[in-house]
Amino acid sequence: MIEKHVKKPIVVNSIENTSFRSSIEGFSEYLNKNGYSNRSLNDYLRVINHFCYWLNAENIALCTINTDTVNVFLYDHFKKCCCPIPKGKPIRICSIALKHFLKMLQEVNIIVPPEKSHSLSCADKIMCEFRTYLENVNGVMASTMHLYSRHIKKFLQQQYENDMIEFQQLTIDEVREYVCNKAKRYKPKTSKVLSTSLRAFFRFLLMTNRILHPLHDAVPSVAYRRLSTIPKYLTGDQFEILLSSFNVSSPIGLRNKAMALLMARLGLRSHEAVQITIEDINWREATITIKKNKSRRTLYLPLTKEIGDIVALYLQKGRPYTEERRIFVTHALPKGKPLPERGLQAAIREAFKHCKLEVPSNGTHMLRHTLATQLLQKGARLKEIADILDHCSIDTTFIYTKVNLKQLDQVTLSWPEV
């Protein structure tokens, strides 16, 4: 195995004769599994061989190493190294190789991951507890949790600059002043989210006995009219231009087009699209199962021929080899890992940029808006659209009536001539 990736015989012999051979071979398999090139394997294995030679010379057990051990090797030993084996690549490459080596050793439980709690600030510890509260008590989605956390982190940074947090000294006036100052700079919808975030946070503080009074009642409400805006959507021609911008001759283009179709044809949210697994698709019955969505229900959606063809093509010819069960995975190193939601969002933004469409937004949610608008203009009822989009309340779907131009034309009166 090692001979396939290491060019110099002296390095191969050194690896075969070291007591760390099994760990180095395991590292080789780890790199190969994650899609690293033969050149990278050769460079990294030379570095790890040198590192293990030094460990042996210093009588350091592999199970005791950590980032401090790596730093001693890099910044004390490496510069004045006189080891009788190839030294390896520049220190930058050595640092990257050793970082991956530590990660691999942690995954196979040879070394214990460092305790993060000791280095966390007081604010960070509170934020960790708050996120746990949001998930277990409030049952919010990960995207909502991230949104709330971002607002609360800014609040803590502004109110407690030196990490000296004393919530019991927090007053109603300070809370109201903070919200009012932010509302002057934020859009109404953002201000509403800020107020909601603070109320949830103060309920958490009250439940954990960090405050004695219900400060959530002191958070001022922000005026926001739910139906005051118009949904941003694509016309049929614009959507076809967007689809044509994906280069389906490349694996990444296949993946991105498949994700775009899932959102635009089935109305999936971005986090729902990236979480689809191979088991979620029933090819015989032509259905897709969507789990753990915003409404906490399981949805069974139709697998259309258009979507089925592009997903099947990606699985057969585009998707890198991986044991990962999620359909959409990364193509950059490390290959084959679950594609994060931000990866999908970046792909859609890049597609909008590439086709140079003049549209009001380049976000993934506009694809859902496009589907809802098309369905309404074709005569679908609001309840049907609400079910497809997985809205908890039909009130959320009412806003699409503002873009149903055909029906709006029928109810408008002619302007009286003067």
Per-residue pLDDT tens digits for 297-353: 788 999 999 999 999 999 999 999 888 999 999 998 888 999 999 999 999 999 998
How much is the pLDDT for 260?
Answer: 95
pLDDT of the residue at 117: 44
Query: Which pLDDT does position 141 carry in this prediction?
Result: 76
CB neighbourhood size of 65 (10 A):
21
Element (DSSP H or E) covering residue 56: helix 38-57
C-alpha–C-alpha distance, residues 368 and 27, integer Å: 43
Query: In DSSP terms, which residues pair with 301 in a beta bridge?
Result: 288
- Asked if the domains 122-218 and 236-408 are classified in one and the same CATH topology, the answer is no
Residue 243: per-residue pLDDT: 93
Do the beta carbons of residue 352 and residue 370 sit within 8 Å? no
**Full-model pTM:** 0.68
pLDDT at 230: 55
| pLDDT score, position 163 | 67
> Per CATH, is 122-218 categorized as 1.10.150.130?
yes
Domain boundaries, the chain: 2-107, 122-218, 236-408
Q: What pLDDT does 35 receive? A: 83
Count Cβ atoms below 10 Å from residue 215 Cβ, excluding itself. 21
Amino acid, res. 178: Y
Closest Cα to residue 49, out of 11, 79, 78?
Answer: 11
Give per-residue pLDDT as tens, 183-238: 999 988 899 999 999 999 999 999 999 999 999 999 998 776 665 455 677 888 88
Nearest to 18 by CA among 43, 49, 63, 41: 49
| Rounded mean pLDDT for each run of 10 residues along the chain, 418 residues in total | 62 76 89 86 90 92 91 89 79 91 91 66 88 85 86 91 82 94 90 94 95 92 63 81 93 96 90 94 95 71 95 95 93 89 93 84 81 74 68 56 50 52
CATH 1.10.443.10 matches 236-408: yes
pLDDT of residue 160: 85
d(CA 263, CA 365): 8
Determine contact, residues 374/232, Cβ cutoff 8 Å. no
- Helical segments of 58-90, H only: 67-72
